[in-house]
Structure 1
């Protein structure tokens, strides 16, 4: 989380809050590989 925050020039708690929000809105958790993959895909598709 901290490495990601550094790469994004954000505080690590902001990154954690954003990821939690994505999970809440989309209805899955970051606790399993499928949820992490779906979150990553959602975030990547929204940046183009």
Structure 2
């Protein structure tokens, strides 16, 4: 099943709220250990200490 980012967030936040948990973060696309920028290019590594 494929979901848009908005659909995923809606379902994820509903799940969090139903369990009376909290979530203060965001979501970012990760490919091959790198965050993907809005323009589709690789950004910072997810684990910078492993990039050395």
TM-score bracket for the superposition, by shorter chain length: 0.3 to 0.5
Which structure has greater helix proportion? 1
Looking at CA atoms only, which structure, 1 or 2, has the larger radius of gyration?
A: 2
TM-score (norm 1): 0.42
Which structure ranks higher in relative contact order (CA pairs < 8 Å, sequence separation ≥ 6)? 1
